[in-house]
Each structure stands twice: as structure tokens, then as C-alpha cells.
């Protein structure tokens, strides 16, 4: 298997919901260590900085994935959950789950109606999380506790992986594929750079979208590039929504806005947009410009730190975001690596000519 593809597979295979990212962090520490000192703040955000002079560009990607937390175990041993991040309930019925119990990973399945007995009135209904239950194969609360399950234990979607041609089907491509792309930058920088390059692998993005704050405040980069997914809309359900397609190139967000209560989003400065488009053009990479409501990243908050941190979001298109199996293109990921390499390589020349 392609080495880069293998890395993506390894990263998506690691269980790491928001607040429980340590295994992803361990994997990265092992791989980043050979390039320099890997720092970890007190929330668990990892960072590495190459170079010690000149303008400073930071790239970040989040390590965590959406998941669940056990809320209640009933007398028969069925488990009720809270959502950890944006989990769409419509995909849960009959779905497999992995729970990080005290004694290790426990598999379970979301209960559902037996097809033969489903009344017409229930067939097309989606149950809210409070009405969903997980069956872990035990028959009492006591037995559930005896296999190591407790209120407050975390869960994730079951692991899943296959590749068809250049199309990847996997859990947690959001944002392990982003982490894999960002890590590739380390292979192309040297300590002799006349600029500072930092990589940040952040925690709890899916939970609170701002846990990255302490490390960004500390590093105080001149430019912050956030790498994350962007919802592709090339499946039949989304026809006519936008032009974002998998296999058509990395994404440049011109406008992202949460739109669900939080007045948060990123409007990248035009000089930074122009720079990124310029880098793409030089590398002959087609990039997809995006304006999206419903998406938010840590950048919405970290851009306000210190004296202001110019921030831009780039990424890769993904179908079925936050679902058990997400779909993206290896071609887009490789082009994204090529693009961010160019962004970092030309950064000194670009930034030193700017008059702010």
C-alpha cells in the first residue's frame, strides 16, 4: 500500500474521541520526534516548531473525532448515551459502536426494530439520542459494570476501512486525513529555513471548537492555516447545493460560518487568499473555493488571540461528514499536501514582501 495511504489508515484506526486523544497523540509523538522537540500543552495539544527565526507560519489539524459518552446504564444492561460533537442520529439505528471501557474496548450495537415487526408508523422515523440504546450483549447493569462499563465512558463509531481506486471509505477521515496531510510537511522542511514553521495537532475540536487556544496563544504565529474537511455535495441528496466534489481538488474556504447559535466563522484576509491561490496556480493544482454555512473550526476563536492572528482554512472534500463512514479522494489529499508544502516553502519570500 502507498505509504501515505497506510498512514491515513493507521490514523483512522486509532480510537480518539474528543477528550480522549492520547493514543493519536502517542502515534504522532513517535513520528514527529525525529524532526524536533514535540511539545504538549496542559490540555494535550501537540506542537512542533522547526526553525527559530523569521516570520512564523503555523498549520493545525484536530486529532479528535466525534463520539459518545455513556449517560446511563439500565437494569437490563442497555446503555444510553450523550453525543460528543455533531453526531447525526439518523445513521445510528443498527450501527456498531466501540466503547472505551475500564477494561478495554467493548463492542456494541445500537438497538433497532426487528424489520419483520416494524409498524408502518415507525419505518421512517429518526429517534433522538435520548431514545437510542446500545446493546453490549449483557443482561444486567451489574454485568455491564463487570465488563468495565461506567457512566462517563467514551465511545466512537466502529472502525471501518476500504479503498476503491483512489476513493477512501473510512471512519474519522475528519480529521485524521488532515493530520496525515499536515504531518507530511515535516518531510520537506529543514532547520535552515529562514522562517518558523509550526505544526499543531489539537484536541477537543469536535467538542468545543476552541481547545487549541492555549498553544496558538503561546506560539503566536503570523499566519495560521487550519487543515480540515469540507463537506462535499456531489452525492444525490445534495445536488444543486454547491459545486464541491471529491476528486476535484483541495478546498479554500473564503467564508465559513457556524450558523447554529455560535456567531463564529473565519473570513480570511484577501492577501492570504491571494497567496494561497497563487501557490495553487504555481503547482498547477485546481482548488475549490468554498463558502459554507454550518461549518466552524478552532480558527473562529484563535484568530482573535493576541494582536489578531490572520487565519485561513484549507482542506479536502468529504462526503457524509460525521457519519460512520466518510468518503474522500486520495488525489485531493495528495494535492493538498502539495499545496501546503508550497505555502510553507514560499512563505518567507511572500511574507517579507508584505507591508502590513
Least distance to Zn ion, CB of residue 26, Å: 20
153, three cell numbers: 465512558
Least distance to Zn ion, CB of residue 174, Å: 4
What are the phi and psi torsion angles at 275 (to 5°)? -60, -45
Residues 41, 64, 174, 313: which binds Zn ion (CB under 5 A)?
Answer: 174
Residues 175, 204, 288, 303: which binds Zn ion (CB under 5 A)?
Answer: 175
Least distance to Zn ion, CB of residue 329, Å: 17
95, three cell numbers: 450501527
Residue 303 sits in the site that holds Zn ion (CB under 5 A): no
Least distance to Zn ion, CB of residue 178, Å: 7
Q: What does the alpha-carbon distance between residue 97 and residue 190 come to, in Å, rounded to a whole number? A: 42
Site string for Zn ion, 126-165 (x = CB under 5 A): ----------------------------------------
CB of 138 or CB of 295, closer to Zn ion: 295
CB of 153 or CB of 298, closer to Zn ion: 298
85: Cβ contacts below 8 Å, ≥ 6 apart: 17, 18, 64, 65, 66, 67, 206, 207, 322
Among residue numbers 195 through 234, which ones bind Zn ion (CB under 5 A)? 228
CB of 101 or CB of 326, closer to Zn ion: 326
Percentages helix, strand, coil for the chain, rounded to the nearest 5?
30, 30, 40
Strand pairing of 265-266 and 104-110?
unpaired
CB of 127 or CB of 159, closer to Zn ion: 159
CB of 21 or CB of 174, closer to Zn ion: 174
- Which of the stretches 83-91, 129-137, 170-178, 266-274 binds Zn ion when contact is defined by CB under 5 A? 170-178
Beta bridge partners of 131: none
67: Cβ contacts below 8 Å, ≥ 6 apart: 17, 18, 20, 84, 85, 87, 154, 155, 156, 157, 206
Residues that bind Zn ion (CB under 5 A): 174-175, 228
Amino acid at each position: 500500500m502507498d505509504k501515505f495511504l497506510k498512514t491515513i489508515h493507521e490514523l483512522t484506526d486509532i480510537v480518539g474521541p474528543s477528550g480522549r486523544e492520547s493514543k493519536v497523540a502517542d502515534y504522532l509523538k513517535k513520528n514527529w520526534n525525529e524532526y524536533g522537540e514535540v511539545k504538549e500543552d496542559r490540555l494535550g495539544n501537540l506542537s512542533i516548531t522547526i526553525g527559530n527565526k523569521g516570520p512564523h507560519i503555523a498549520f493545525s489539524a484536530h486529532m479528535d473525532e466525534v463520539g459518545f459518552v455513556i449517560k446511563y446504564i439500565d437494569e437490563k444492561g442497555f446503555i444510553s448515551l450523550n453525543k460528543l460533537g455533531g453526531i447525526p442520529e439518523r445513521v445510528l439505528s443498527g450501527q456498531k459502536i466501540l466503547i472505551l471501557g475500564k477494561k478495554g474496548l467493548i463492542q456494541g450495537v445500537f438497538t433497532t426494530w426487528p424489520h419483520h415487526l416494524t409498524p408502518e408508523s415507525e419505518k421512517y422515523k429518526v429517534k433522538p439520542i435520548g431514545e437510542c440504546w446500545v446493546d453490549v450483549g449483557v443482561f444486567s447493569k451489574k454485568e455491564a459494570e463487570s465488563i468495565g462499563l461506567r457512566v462517563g465512558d467514551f465511545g466512537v463509531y466502529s472502525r471501518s476501512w476500504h479503498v476503491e481506486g483512489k476513493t477512501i471509505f473510512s471512519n474519522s477521515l475528519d480529521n485524521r486525513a488532515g493530520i496525515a496531510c499536515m504531518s507530511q510537511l515535516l518531510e520537506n522542511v529543514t532547520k535552515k529555513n529562514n522562517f518558523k514553521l509550526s505544526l499543531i495537532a489539537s484536541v477537543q475540536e469536535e467538542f468545543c471548537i476552541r481547545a487549541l487556544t492555549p498553544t496558538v496563544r503561546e506560539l503566536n504565529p503570523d499566519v495560521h492555516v487550519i487543515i480540515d474537511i469540507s463537506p462535499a455535495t456531489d452525492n444525490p441528496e445534495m445536488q444543486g447545493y454547491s459545486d464541491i466534489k471529491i476528486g476535484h481538488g483541495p478546498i479554500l474556504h473564503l467564508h465559513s460560518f457556524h450558523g447554529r447559535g455560535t456567531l463564529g466563522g473565519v473570513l480570511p484576509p484577501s492577501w492570504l487568499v491571494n497567496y494561497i491561490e497563487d501557490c495553487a496556480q504555481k503547482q498547477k493544482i485546481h482548488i475549490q473555493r468554498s463558502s459554507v454555512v454550518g461549518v466552524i473550526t478552532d480558527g473562529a476563536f484563535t484568530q482573535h488571540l493576541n494582536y489578531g492572528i490572520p487565519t485561513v482554512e484549507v482542506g479536502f472534500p468529504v462526503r457524509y461528514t460525521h457519519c460512520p463512514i466518510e468518503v474522500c479522494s486520495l488525489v485531493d489529499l495528495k494535492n493538498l499536501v502539495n499545496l501546503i508544502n508550497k505555502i510553507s516553502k514560499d512563505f518567507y519570500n511572500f511574507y517579507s514582501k508584505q507591508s502590513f
